[in-house]
Amino acid sequence: MATLTRTAPPSAAAAAYPPGHEPVHNFFHEPGPGPEVRGFARFRAVAWEWMTTVDHKRIGLMYLTAVSFFFALGGIMALLVRLELFTQGETIMGADAYNRVFTMHGIIMVFLFIIPSIPAALGNFLLPIMIGAKDVAFPRLNLMSWYLYLSACVIGMFSLTTLGVDTGWTFYTPYSKTTSTAVLAVGIAVFVAGFSSILTGLNFIVTIHKMRAPGMTWNRMPLFLWSIYATSIVQVLATPVIGITMLLLALERILQIGIFDPALGGDPVLFQHFFWFYSHPAVYIMILPGFGIISELMGTFSRQKVYGYRAIALSSVAIALLGFMVWGHHMFTSGQSPVSSVIFSMITFLIGIPSGIKIFNWIATMYKGSVWLRTPMLYALTFLFLFTIGGVTGIMVGAIAADIHLHDTYFVVAHFHYVMMGGTVMALLGGLHYWWPKMTGRLYNERLGQTSALLVFLGFNMTFFPQFIMGSQGMPRRYYDYPDMPWMEPLHQLSTIGSWFLASGLMCVLINGIWSLRKGKPAPGNPWGAATLEWTHASSPPDFHNFHRTPLVTHGPYDYEVLFSGDGLGGDGHRTPDVRVGVPQNEPSIEDGTRQPTKPTP
Amino acid sequence: MNERTSFWSEGASLWLPPQRSTTAHEIDAVFNFILYTSTILTLGVAAAIIYFAWKYRRRSPLDHPQVVHENKLLELSWVVLPTIMVLVVFFWGFRAYVGTSIPPTDAYEIRVRGQQWFWTFEYPNGSILQGEVYVPAGQPVVFRMTSRDVLHSFFVPEFRIKNDVIPNRSTNVWFEAPQEGTYQVLCTEYCGTAHSNMGAKIHVVGRDEFFAYLRDGFPDQQADLPLDQVGEQLYTSKGCNACHTLDGTPSVGPSWLGNWGRPRPGTAGSPVMDEAYVREAILAPNAHVVTGFQPQMPSYEGLLNDRQIDGIIAYIQELNGVEPTGGAPADSAMTGDSVIVPGGPTTPRATPPTAPAN
């Protein structure tokens, strides 16, 4: 109905757009109410349309908004935690408040931010476009996942802000059994969020298996999708275990059935096994999609085939499967049998190898390439450096003897922040800048983007590197105060000051995003010269149905030479939308003044 | 006693605390080996990133690089070499673990109990110490540990030992400290409000000294202090600060400030807070639970001697601006009376509380 009543804006360039690809035709506006609907009625119609949408792009953007909100909220909690540790004794809050704040930081960051971040936000938006499909396999199920996630957020936020929880995000028994805080309600939130995660994973697996465009073979799939595929397998197989664990915890608290509480004849270490049987694979739910983004960025910004495509693709799957067999390395000092500690340590080292292979492959991708240091690439290189540190310190805590000393100290805190924040969040920020023009149709400010990358890099290292030293010197984690180690204070202060730099870097990203939405220049279809379908076959932002014709895929995701030798035709002989490198969609040059190539070079 | 007071204390490096047990060097060897190889690897990665990013930087938007074909030998090398490296690290870590985790059969055994939020140590002869423990130098010592409530974890950085302490289960750590000194015990498993205050001190003393203490009683570090200062030290060393504030705000338990001389309505009537009341609250805390609080405090019977209880009373009185009333004078130092031998003379009971427990 809408297309009947709307016309393209009267601009000189508009004539160059193929019918149906005028900038106004995109998923933001379509289907949408006609222009005759005005005022509050229009607002209501648009709001209802977004709330009931089954479009993967809109659902992806809604996820993106939500996870950004929770990232900011969890980040504020982190700043409060760091500020409290700035001086000995009470700085800004008491011990009980501190325990609630660090627990809130952990729960928000793990369950409401990082697990849904890349798969549910970027994955939802990009997966169907990258394989040349119109939507995911089960669009309504996708909407249901979104609402499950939203309910988990509501339940979680309600209980975290009213009674609060002071168990740490790990809910270790018997403390979580005896504490009077809202463990039960937060357990329900985790349970519900788990279902959202399972349904999303299921949807993605089916979509990748059944909905690929003609010519999109497994070996032509972008590595981002390989990693999303591996992630989805873990989501579907591991998440039920956290659901069951939370259910057992609830049964124990309500019905006093002795499962984990020794006072009732239960076994507290059993809880740790259950918890980590999910939460270790969940670490790969968090990091694998980050690997996928880095593969895309390294290829596009080096304009070079990603080195060792198959090794990277298969190592993602290897990590996903091996990831199920290493949970016991969280429990070397928990009183589990020494024999199982040794076996878990062994498998933990094996899982380090595929991660190492990826790092080497990504670096090799730059070799003889054409490295373009835009913001997304700066974040990708930051990832490579920080994730390497996260990885080698993982080897340290994986060696049993060293872990005896390092377990549950700041060393572990620094290690997993290097992996989760230095890894996943850097990849997310890189991916966000990379796909921002595609998702919003606007360019961001490159200089502000580069400033943010620099601030984040410096702030991150200043915050977390001192924590390695504090940890190996003996500073235990989850400490409100350090009365027995007053000489730690300078290091704590360094770390806290670093957190302010980190926060200001992230603030730059936020400002950049808002600026871009309001004032950013319209984005060309393919500003980076990438070779995957979302750039070569879809406009920025994409049409309501992504493509007007199903793309015919004739080359791999990193065959950049095709862009230069191509005739602008899709594999099926139709002209693709004007998104070839060199034919900007609606700008002759992009904002930094670099002209894109205007004709194929020899 | 060379307790650690600064970052750059004797024997500490940038990364690790001083080695003060016979097994610490084995764990440090694993740590340092990984540290050095990791540093080399990380610097190599960083150098490669910077070099490639510079050397192959984009010079023009028209850059059109040649496709690089994969080199099987190169790929194989970065699979095989890291595998060998991690296997070396695994076996090293495994051997060091086996070498350091099994206590020698002749180890001197001390029972350790963790509870919210303090540690108690029980010697084979029945002596009990709280918040501090004396062990002989040059003798393997094994701590058999259990918890009375939630999980705790027993960690001594200088000894490189750590193990969780679990209710209804016995776990152990062992060490042999070759030289005398005082070392800090830390709790590394989150256990609630005062997790970060759940420390203890390990005093390593000479063998002869140790057995003399065991026979005659452990030294009272506070013998020369006036009563109120005894109480002030105990406030933190015995973990009172976990639940009781000094500024009048109620926490897990009532504050020590502002209630002196006032009636305290609760489960056993409404007694007035005086000396006898405080004494009972320490020795039989759940006989009278003040309204609005949970019966959560453990009894300190056997953990505090008379002079220590008097010290706490004096400290509370001082806080509330009351002239301290009783207690033994400071010069009647009862050295060694922090040890209570079960079966020996029991702690003298307090004067009858105003409202005895029914």
Which residue bears the tokens 């850059």? B63
Q: What is the ipTM of this complex?
A: 0.87
Structure tokens at B94: 């495994």
* Whether pLDDT at A21 is above 50: no
A564–B171 CB contact, under 8 Å:
no
Structure tokens at A488: 């730690």
Is residue A461 less than 8 Å (CB to CB) from chain B? no
Report the alpha-carbon distance of residue A580 to residue B202 in Å, rounded. 72
pLDDT digits (tens, 9 = 90+) for A78-91: 999 999 999 998 89
Give A437 to chain B, closest Cα distance, Å: 19
Number of H helices, E strands in chain A: 21, 0
Give B2 to chain A, closest Cα distance, Å: 14
Q: Name the region of B283 (left: φ>0; alpha: ψ -120 to 50; beta: rest).
A: alpha
Please provide the DSSP assignment of A527-548 as one string.
TT---SHHHHTS-SSPBTTB-S
Is residue B64 less than 8 Å (CB to CB) from chain A? yes
B30–A399 CB contact, under 8 Å:
yes
Cβ atoms A46, A30 nearer than 8 A: no
Residues whose CB is less than 8 angstroms from the CB of residue B146 and which lie 6 or more positions away in sequence, other chains included = B111, B112, B113, B114, B165, B166, B167, B168, B169, B170, B171
At residue A6 the predicted structure's pLDDT band, cuts being 50, 70 and 90, is very low
What pLDDT does B281 receive? 87
* pLDDT average, residue stretch A207-222: 93
3-class DSSP state of B312: helix
Q: Name the region of B336 (left: φ>0; alpha: ψ -120 to 50; beta: rest).
A: left
B190–A478 CB contact, under 8 Å:
yes
CB atoms within 10 A of CB A72: 16
Give B276 to chain A, closest Cα distance, Å: 31
- Amino acid identity at B3: E
Residue in chain A closest to B76 (alpha carbons) equals A357
* Whether pLDDT at B239 is above 80: no
A262–B168 CB contact, under 8 Å:
yes
Structure tokens at B161: 């030992």
What pLDDT does A566 receive? 52
Is residue A325 less than 8 Å (CB to CB) from chain B? no
Structure tokens at A63: 């996820």
Sheet holding B171-175, edge to edge: B128-130, B118-122, B108-115, B141-147, B171-175
* pLDDT average, residue stretch A200-220: 94
Residues 175-234 of B with CB under 8 A from A: 184, 186-197, 199
- Taking CB atoms within 8 Å and a gap of at least 24, the contacts of B241-250 are B241/B194, B241/B197, B242/B116, B242/B117, B242/B193, B242/B194, B242/B197, B242/B198, B243/B193, B243/B194, B243/B296, B243/B297, B246/B319, B250/B292, B250/B293
A30, with CB counted inside 10 A (0-12, 13-18, 19+), is middle
Distances (CA, A) of A439 to A121, A134, A436: 11, 15, 5
At residue B326 the predicted structure's pLDDT band, cuts being 50, 70 and 90, is low
pLDDT digits (tens, 9 = 90+) for A232-255: 999 999 999 999 999 999 999 999
Residues whose CB is less than 8 angstroms from the CB of residue B167 and which lie 6 or more positions away in sequence, other chains included = A174, A262, A263, A268, B146, B147, B148, B149, B150, B151
A370–B46 CB contact, under 8 Å:
no
3-class DSSP state of A392: helix
Cβ atoms B201, B168 nearer than 8 A: no
Q: How far is CA B218 from the centre of its chain?
A: 19
Q: Which of A381, A395, A564 sits opposite B86 (nearest CB)?
A: A395
pLDDT digits (tens, 9 = 90+) for A421-464: 999 999 999 999 999 999 998 899 999 999 999 999 999 999 99
At residue A25 the predicted structure's pLDDT band, cuts being 50, 70 and 90, is low
**pTM summary value:** 0.87
B158: chain A residues, CB-CB within 8 Å: 474
B150–A334 CB contact, under 8 Å:
no
Please provide the DSSP assignment of B28-96 as one string.
HHHHHHHHHHHHHHHHHHHHHHHHHHHHTB--STT--PPPPPP-HHHHHHHHHHHHHHHHHHHHHHHHH
Q: Is the model more confident about B218 or about A202?
A: A202
B164–A561 CB contact, under 8 Å:
no
A305: chain B residues, CB-CB within 8 Å: 67-68
A396–B38 CB contact, under 8 Å:
yes
B193: chain A residues, CB-CB within 8 Å: 95-96, 99, 166
Give the mutation candidate from B13, B62, B66 for the A interface (greatest A CB count, under 10 A): B62
What's the mean per-residue pLDDT of chain A?
Answer: 87
Q: Which of B42, B64, B149 sits opposite A564 (nearest CB)?
A: B64
Is residue B94 less than 8 Å (CB to CB) from chain A? yes
Is residue A388 less than 8 Å (CB to CB) from chain B? yes
Q: Which of A179, A400, A596 sits opposite B97 (nearest CB)?
A: A400
pLDDT digits (tens, 9 = 90+) for A277-299: 999 999 999 999 999 999 999 99
Report the alpha-carbon distance of residue B192 to residue B174 in Å, rounded. 26
Least Cα distance to A564 among B59, B53, B61, B52 occurs for B61
Largest CA distance in chain A: 78
Give the up-direction half-sphere exposure of residue B230: CA atoms within 13 A in the CB hemisphere.
26
Report the alpha-carbon distance of residue B202 to residue B185 in Å, rounded. 7
pLDDT digits (tens, 9 = 90+) for A129-187: 999 999 999 999 999 999 999 999 999 999 988 888 999 999 998 999 888 888 999 99
Is residue A76 less than 8 Å (CB to CB) from chain B? no
What pLDDT does B325 receive? 66
